[in-house]
Chain A
């Protein structure tokens, strides 16, 4: 029951009339009016040689659409010329005006090409005629190959660069800073170390009275202070921060005790002296 309309449609199309072309002809004229080529197109196969158009030539295609049995002229609902480029895959479809009696005429003037013509490539355009009508079975005829003058390259879309890899970025870096020349470095090393000599000279003149530096209550403090400085130098040379801090914490505890002891001893000495 469901299939009945489909079967009826198929039945109707099987019985539909077949269309054919009557006197299809292609004529190429130059701008001056002289005929460059004039051929009638066979219905069984396309033209053997491609039709070549110059920049100022005009191509004129004429035919009449008739029913195969009876020869009555038909104005179908759809009559299209398809220009297809096999290598690039581009195609353009041009509707063709057909009169009531089925007569059609299509003119292609290369001075003002129709918009449906696809951009050219190496291969010639295949021109096909496609006719569609609800009362007849469809007709598709390969007419001929068409060679047209090269088209201008299409304009580049303003956003085209965004769809390709962008140009590679070349970073420029500030040049490495250089050390000053060796003699200057040597001179200024001497200048910076010189204050130590001044300090030693001054200290040699004013050695203060240090009471009991080696007594057992004061010496550990001095030693732990020295050990702290040694730990810091060791940290600068090789130790890592975590290790240095943990060693420093341990040493700090020891120093606190030694310091308390030493400084209280010195304080007592000072008070006793007073």
Chain B
């Protein structure tokens, strides 16, 4: 196989992947994916701050980081349950039920995060 450095072949692979993604993913799923990407960025930013500068209000760091991680998990599970292509995996869970679970889980997560934020 050709080496995986920045050869035109590998950039082509990335471009093809991106094209396939944007063509075949519905808008709703892209909406959720944008949210997931945002959560990942936010978590990375907070973690970088904790490592590089200080973890002085440690409870605040834990609350913020846990909120991003927890929300990411909830949103990822919502996405997988709402995706019509996974309908066979989740026969008993309708998309509405998935959203209800997501809403409840998010509220509980937010409650604990606000508790810990201080």
| A interface list, Cβ under 8 A from B | 177-180, 184-185, 188, 191-192, 194-196, 198-199, 202-203, 206-209, 225, 228-229, 232-233, 235-236, 241, 248, 259, 263-264, 266-267, 270
Contacts and interface: CB of A to CB of B under 8 A. Distances in A.
A184 B53 CA distance: 8
A241 B111 CA distance: 10
Given A235-B114, A266-B96, A188 B37 contact: no
B53 A188 contact: yes
Closest 10 CB pairs of A and B: A199-B38, A202-B34, A263-B96, A195-B41, A208-B27, A206-B30, A236-B114, A208-B28, A195-B42, A267-B96
30 contacts: A177-B54, A177-B56, A179-B56, A188-B45, A188-B49, A191-B48, A192-B45, A195-B38, A195-B39, A195-B41, A195-B45, A198-B41, A199-B34, A206-B31, A207-B27, A207-B31, A208-B27, A208-B28, A209-B27, A225-B103, A232-B107, A232-B110, A232-B111, A232-B114, A236-B117, A241-B115, A259-B100, A263-B100, A266-B96, A270-B96
A235 B28 CA distance: 32
A192 B114 CA distance: 18
B48 to A, nearest CB: 7
A232 B110 CA distance: 7
Contacts of B26: 208
A233 B114 contact: yes
Contacts, number: 83
Given A180-B54, A191-B49, A270-B95, 12 more contacts: A185-B53, A194-B45, A195-B41, A199-B38, A202-B34, A206-B27, A208-B27, A208-B31, A232-B107, A232-B114, A259-B103, A263-B97
Q: Say which size band chain B's interface belongs to.
A: 20 to 34
Interface in B1-48: 26-28, 30-31, 34-35, 37-39, 41-42, 45-46, 48
A228 B107 CA distance: 7
A179 B38 CA distance: 27
A137 to B, nearest CB: 90
B59 interface: no
Contacts of B30: 206, 208
A236 B113 CA distance: 10
Contacts of A192: 42, 45-46, 49
Interface of B: 26-28, 30-31, 34-35, 37-39, 41-42, 45-46, 48-49, 53-54, 56, 94-97, 99-100, 103, 107, 110-111, 114-115, 117
Q: Which of A177, A195, A196, A232 has the most B CB atoms < 10 Å from its CB? A: A195
Nearest to A236: B114
B114 A202 contact: no
Contacts of A179: 54, 56
A180 B53 contact: yes
Nearest to A189: B49
Contacts of A184: 53
Given A192-B45, A225-B103, A235-B114, A203 B34 contact: yes
Contacts of B97: 263
A232 B27 CA distance: 30
A105 to B, nearest CB: 87
Contacts of B53: 180, 184-185, 188
Nearest to A266: B96
Contacts of B100: 259, 263
Contacts of B48: 191
B39 to A, nearest CB: 8
